[in-house]
Amino acid sequence: DDVIHTFVGFFPASNPKYIVLVKMDRPQWGKEAASYTVTLAFREVEQFLINYYNIPPDEEQ
C-alpha cells in the first residue's frame, strides 16, 4: 500500500499571507507518523519564511 501524507497550513493566523502545502509520497516511517512528518516539515518552511520576510508575531486578542 502506497501512503501519501499531506498538510496545508497558513500564516499569520490573523491576516494570512502565505499558504504552504507539504506532501510526502511513500514516507519511510509509514502512515502512523503522518502527524509528525508533514507538520515538522511545514514548521521548518514556516520558520524560514517568518525569518526571511521578518514577519512579526500576531498580537494576542
In this prediction, residue 35 carries a pLDDT of 73
Output the nine-digit C-alpha cell for 22: 507539504
What DSSP line would sit under 10-53, residue for residue? EESSSS--EEEEEEEES-TT-GGGHHHHHHHHHHHHHHHHHHHT
What's this model's pTM, rounded to 2 decimal places?
Answer: 0.79
In this prediction, residue 2 carries a pLDDT of 81
Report how far residue 60's alpha carbon sits from residue 40's, in angstroms, rounded to the nearest whole number: 24
Helix, strand, coil in percent for the chain, rounding step 5: 35, 25, 40
In this prediction, residue 61 carries a pLDDT of 60
More confident residue, 48 or 58: 48
In this prediction, residue 44 carries a pLDDT of 96
Domain boundaries, the chain: 4-52
Predicted confidence (pLDDT) per residue in 19-53, tens digit: 999 998 887 776 677 778 889 999 999 999 999 99
Report how far residue 27's alpha carbon sits from residue 39's, in angstroms, rounded to the nearest whole number: 13
